[in-house]
Structure 1
Amino acid sequence: MTIENDILLAEPSAVAGLVFRRFRGEGDFPKMAALIQACADADQVDDATTPGELANWFAHMTNCDPQKDMLFVEDEASELIAYCQNYWRREEATGHYIYVHTARVSPQWRRRGIGRALLHHMQRRIREVAVAQGHPTDVPRFFHAWAADTEVAAEKLLRSEGYAPVRYSFEMTRPLVAGEDDLPHFPLPEGFEVRPVRPEHWHALWEADVEAFRDHWGFTEPTEENYQGWINWKWFRPELFRVAWDVEKGEIAGAVENFINEDENAKYNRKRGYTEGIFVRRPYRKRGLARALIALSLQMHKDLGMTEAALGVDTENLTGALRVYEACGFRAVKRYTTYRKAIEP
């Protein structure tokens, strides 16, 4: 086993014969993307992440130092077989500190203790970060991870380490059948109109989105870096957005930030459009605005030749989003569980 520089590993014996190293820059992105997709295929999770998407994310990442908050594992042939990463955020409503950690282990290298060793490494690193950042110990702090219901090994590991489910979300889809009048018909409420999204609207749309989600579970105030990451994302397609404006006040009331992931569609041989980024600002809720914008979005995707639509939803969303999506024909196809474990002072 080779351990690069100052890396401290809690359980080196569990992963003997491997090489542990730090992040080496953009040259790691192709290896990471390949590992992400190999894991996704084995775990029945849709993912077509590209090196370019990773580059954009890393360029605008916050509260994470890749040189210290990542660990890479290679075999003797210098093939990447696992990596992990951690970052932190602070919930606005509760003041809780949330330390997110993720890991990927190649399907061929599982059941050898690598995942558990990486988890313990991240927990140790997170404690270091909390001290270095001066995070108070008298405020609740949590290790935070998630897994799909098909990621059986990850769920088993987290539960065995004392993590407990705290929230659930669904991936939902609905068909778009060509030649059939199968879409919901929900008219736009009076006093609103849908307008094309121009570059001068981007930041106002972002701010409206942030405002709308501020009262949702787990909300963390985003940064300008997050905004830049959004507008530079490969699938940022504002021409597909459906944004409702209050005609009288001249302000954004709600939106659906649609996109089409062409890489996913090619990989999975499908024609899927995403109706994501759905929000309605608090003053405009309970008027049927969300379902009207979703109906318009579904028609747009169908007109573009898509044969299904998809979205993700927090099952306990305070606005009743799950019921709205079901009324628009969406049905759950996969469940994700958010796990947390309290960090003791």
Structure 2
Amino acid sequence: MSIHYTFPDGLQIRHATMADLHAVTELIIACDIVDFGKPDYSEDELRQNWQRANFQLATDAFVLHSAAGEIIGYTDICPSRGGIYINALTRVHPDYRQLNLDEALFEMAEAYACQRVTSAQVDATLSPLAWTISTDVKRLSLLEQRGYRSVNTEWRMEIDFHEPPLAPTWPEGIAVRQFVVGQDEQSVHQLIQEAFQDLRDYEYESFDDWQGWAFKHGNFQPALIPIITSGAEMIGVAWCYGFSDGGAWIYQLAIAQPWRKQGLGLQLLRQSFYMLYQHGIRNVGLTVDLQNVTGAARLYERAGMHLAERHDTCEKQLDCKKK
């Protein structure tokens, strides 16, 4: 699908390729340093985004480059059950922000989303979803001006370890062990999908889609993934990655539904902290949907985590009916 959009000052837009992975990552990191004071992204994370289900790199990702070929802007779209996402990683290099290219990228992405739907010979009203951080006042203002409204809020929560964290205390009959490669993959996938099925807008991931990102991450280490069991039954898991800078991220934490409200979530979180600390980790983060029906945010606060950032998902209705 061709792109018909003109940017100022000789800048050109094209579809991204895997060869752009490093340059786009460097763009995002440059923006993070200016906006948040530190880098907060990696090539592995971008590669995962580009390999996620329902996403086609050759048609859904866009890079904006200068006449010299330098990549100075990025955005992408991805179909989902709730609409089409316009990536939170829509970025413009700090040296080019005076050109108001963020708005141009959003306008282009919205137009492309409609083009994608109408080319499929269907009538539709799209709901593009744009994710932004609450401290990015300019981005929030831009989205409001373009007719977006906040429909969901997530917290990024963190904890810093200045001393060894508390070890967990397990009820009688509950055991803990680490993930075993070649044994636990299917069971962990099933546990996570069943545990998350009551979360708002959660989309079921097939085993192939889930393992496509879970095990390809460059920081996958079985020793950092605690599993809790009752007899032969797997009842909880925390999917964690540790990073070389001394930080870690808990991507998924799940307790089987029949075992909830018994304090196991708090103990599993403490087990994760304890294991990560033993491997040199001193900062752990995660995100939580504030509409999570399990009350996860309160659980994380009880474990000592604090609010680091607020992320808002903003929605806008686009009428893409064929004329």
TM-score over 0.5 for the pair: yes
- Are 2:132 and 1:150 equivalent residues in the alignment? no
Q: TM-score, normalised by structure 1?
A: 0.84
Percent of pairs with identical residues: 23
User: Could you tell me how far apart the structure 2 residues matched to 1:132 and 1:257 are?
Assistant: 39
Tell me which of 35, 38, 59 is aligned to 2:30. Answer: 38
CA contact (8 A) 2:30 2:39 kept: no
Task: Give the corresponding residue for 2:173.
Answer: 191
CA contact (8 A) 1:184 1:329 kept: no
Equivalent runs, 1:67-106 vs 2, <5 Å = 67-90=58-81, 97-102=82-87, 103-106=90-93
In the alignment, does 2:288 pair up with 1:305?
no
How do residues 158-177 of structure 1 correspond to structure 2 at under 5 angstroms? 158-177=143-162
2: CA distance, partners of 1:68 / 1:275 = 31
- Consecutive aligned runs of 4 or more in structure 1 exceeding 6 Å deviation: none
Give the drift of 1:341: 1.1
In structure 1, the gaps of 5 or more residues are 91-96, 266-270
**From 106, 110, 114, the counterpart of 1:119:** 106
CA distance in 2, matches of 1:275, 1:61: 18
User: Which digits, 9 at most, give the CA deviation of each residue in 1:184-243, with x for residues without a partner?
Assistant: 465223332112311220221022111111110121122323322211111222221111
Within 5 Å, give how 1:243-322 maps onto structure 2.
Answer: 243-247=227-231, 250-262=232-244, 265=245, 271-322=246-297
Q: Partners of 1:46 and 1:319 in 2: how far apart?
A: 32
- Give the counterpart of 2:310 among 325, 328, 335: 335
Contact 1:197 1:241 in 2 (8 A): yes
Residue 132 (structure 1) shift: 4.6
Unaligned runs of 5+ in 2: none
Paired position in structure 2 for 1:107: 94
Whether the 8 Å contact between 2:238 and 2:269 is mirrored in structure 1 is yes
Alignment partner, residue 63 of structure 1? 54
Residues 2-24 of structure 1, C-alpha deviations (whole Å, 9 max, x = no match): xxx94211xx3x5232122222x
In structure 2, the residue matched to 1:18 is 11
User: Aligned in 2, Cα 1:323/1:177: closer, same or farther, shift over 3 Å?
Assistant: same
1:28 aligns with 2:20: yes
2:212 is aligned to 228
Aligned length: 316
CA contact (8 A) 2:44 2:217 kept: no
Cα 1:64/1:307, change in 2 over 3 Å: closer
After TM superposition, give the deviation of residue 56 of structure 1 in Å.
4.9
Matches within 5 A, 1:203-242: 203-223=186-206, 224-242=208-226
Deviates further, 79-88 or 102-111:
102-111
> Counterparts of 2:276 and 2:215 in 1: how far apart (Å)?
21
For 1:53 and 1:168, locate their aligned partners in 2 and report how far apart those are by CA, in whole Å. Answer: 21
Q: What's the TM-score once normalised by structure 2's chain length?
A: 0.89
1:323 is displaced (CA, Å) by: 0.9
SS in 1 for 2:227: strand
Whole-Å separation in 1 of the counterparts to 2:257 and 2:120: 34
Distance 1:149 1:335 in 2: 5
Q: 1:310 to 1:22 in 2, by over 3 A?
A: closer
Deviates more, 1:127-136 or 1:108-117: 127-136
Instruction: Determine the C-alpha separation between the residues in 2 that align with 1:309 and 1:229.
Output: 20
Q: Find the counterpart in structure 2 of residue 268 from structure 1.
A: none
Q: Are the counterparts in 2 of residues 167 and 339 from structure 1 also a CA contact under 8 Å?
A: yes
2:61 alignment partner AA: M
Q: CA RMSD in A?
A: 2.3
Give yes or no for the alignment of 1:54 onto 2:54: no
Q: Secondary structure at the match of 1:278?
A: strand
Q: What is the deviation of 1:328?
A: 0.7
* Letter in structure 2 aligned against 1:70: A
Distance 1:132 1:211, change over 3 A: farther
